[in-house]
């Protein structure tokens, strides 16, 4: 077997998977998006831009997604960074493994079940009742955008913690000593040494969370009471309720395009940070 044949053979499983699970379905979606809705649902082949022309009808869904996805990503980052820093730098090594496992533990249960738990916590008999008890009355949490944001931060936090933890854990602690020896105050060391060196972790974490959030539909459906509507929810509805596959496909294509554009800009930004500091690269 030649070297080349062996390379192809090794690539075959992943290649086949990509072809069957990604390329073919995406092509189908693209073809459907130029079709028309069949009378009782589904799609009839056609070549029309009608579906794309109708995209503004889902403007609110896109707006909600493009607001809550970045806000959710940023909030997760703000909460995850100190936690990752604590785990990587401050914690005694004998506790580290246990604490890391505790970050993963929630993943042992399905997000569906955990979101149901949040329905209870945010519902009238949960946190609002406790608040009521201490004198803060009339607080409503469940089925609001805030509830959705809470669910998002909770669900995606571990995905943000781990990449940042890894980049901080690998950080050469001698650099911190050097910085301090050269007279830098702790804050200055953090801003000029630790933070820049953890940018790869931040970039990876943000990208993971952001991409997954753009397609999220479960958390808004459960914690938003069907009133907080993401593009993901619009897609579920178009395929599973109104059975308008053609329009659904056009919305899906639009989501992919929006995502590609956002991520291209994001990579550029990270790339620019990388050229100004050659020790930083994404992933």
Partner 1 sequence: MTKQIDHISKKKFIEELERYRKGSITRRHFMNITGLGAATAVLGATMSGPQAFAAGDIGDRVVLATWPNYHDESNFEAFTEATGAHVQVNVFGSNEEMLAKLQAGGSGWDVYVPTNYTITTYVDEGLIEPLDTAKLPNYDASAFDARYAEAGSVGGKLYAVPKNWGSTGMAINTAHNGGKAISSWKEFFDISRDSFSGRSMVHDYQLTTIGSALNYYGYSFNSVDESELADAEKLLIDVKPHLFAITSDYQPSMRNGDAWLTICWSGDGKQLNTDIPEIHYVLGSEGGEIWSDYYAIPKSAPHKEAAYALINFLLDPNVNAKEVLAHGYPTADSNTYKLLPDSIKNDPILFPAKELLSPLEFGAAVTMTDPNRAELMARFKSA
Which residues of this protein are in contact with partner 1, per CB under 8 A?
Answer: 37, 39-42, 57-58, 60-61, 119, 123-125, 140, 142-143, 225-227, 229, 233-234, 237-244
Shortest Å, Cβ 67 to partner 1: 14
Looking at beta carbons only, is 42 or 82 nearer to partner 1?
Answer: 42
Nearer to partner 1, 216 or 237 (CB): 237
According to DSSP, the β-strands at 43-44 and 36-37 are antiparallel
Between the alpha carbon of residue 195 and those of residues 136, 174, 275, the distances in Å are: 39, 15, 16
CB of 46 to partner 1, least distance (A): 15
Structure-token pair, residue 40: 């009782």
**CA end-to-end distance (rounded Å), the chain:** 34
Q: Which of 67, 53, 114, 76 is nearest to 214 (CA)?
A: 67
d(Cα 145, Cα 132) in Å, to the nearest integer? 21
- Minimum distance from CB of 256 to partner 1 (Å)? 19
Q: How far is the CB of 174 from partner 1 (least distance, A)?
A: 55
Tokens linked to 31: 């073809």
Q: Which CB, 192 or 242, lies closer to partner 1?
A: 242
CB 141 within 8 A of CB 151: no
The nearer residue to partner 1, 57 or 105, going by C-beta atoms, is 57
Whose Cβ is closer to partner 1: residue 142's or residue 193's? 142
Distance CA 139, CA 213 (A): 27
Report in angstroms how near the CB of residue 232 gets to partner 1 at its nearest: 12
């Amino acid at each position: 077997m030649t070297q080349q044949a062996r390379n192809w053979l090794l690539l075959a499983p992943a290649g086949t998977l990509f072809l069957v699970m990604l390329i073919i379905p995406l092509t189908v979606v693209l073809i459907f998006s130029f079709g028309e809705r069949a009378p009782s649902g589904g799609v009839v082949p056609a070549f029309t831009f009608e579906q794309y022309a109708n995209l503004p009808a889902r403007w609110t869904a896109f707006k909600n997604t493009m607001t809550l996805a970045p806000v959710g990503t940023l909030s997760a980052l703000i909460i995850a960074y100190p936690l990752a820093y604590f785990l990587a730098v401050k914690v005694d090594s004998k506790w580290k493994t246990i604490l890391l496992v505790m970050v993963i533990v929630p993943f042992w249960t399905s997000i569906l079940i955990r979101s149901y738990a949040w329905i209870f916590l945010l519902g009238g008999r949960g946190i609002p009742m406790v608040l009521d008890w201490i004198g803060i009355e009339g607080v409503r949490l469940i089925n609001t955008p805030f509830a959705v944001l809470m669910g998002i931060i909770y669900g995606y936090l571990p995905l943000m913690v781990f990449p940042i933890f890894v980049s901080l854990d690998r950080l050469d602690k001698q650099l911190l000593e050097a910085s301090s020896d050269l007279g830098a105050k702790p804050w200055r060391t953090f801003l000029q040494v630790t933070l820049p060196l953890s940018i790869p972790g931040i970039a990876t974490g943000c990208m993971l969370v952001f991409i997954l959030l753009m397609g999220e539909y479960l958390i808004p459906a459960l914690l938003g009471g069907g009133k907080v509507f993401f593009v993901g929810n619009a897609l579920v509805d178009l395929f599973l309720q109104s059975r308008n596959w053609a329009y659904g496909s056009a919305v899906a294509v639009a989501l992919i395009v929006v995502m590609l554009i956002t991520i291209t800009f994001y990579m550029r930004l990270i790339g620019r940070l990388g050229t100004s500091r050659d020790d930083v690269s994404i992933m």
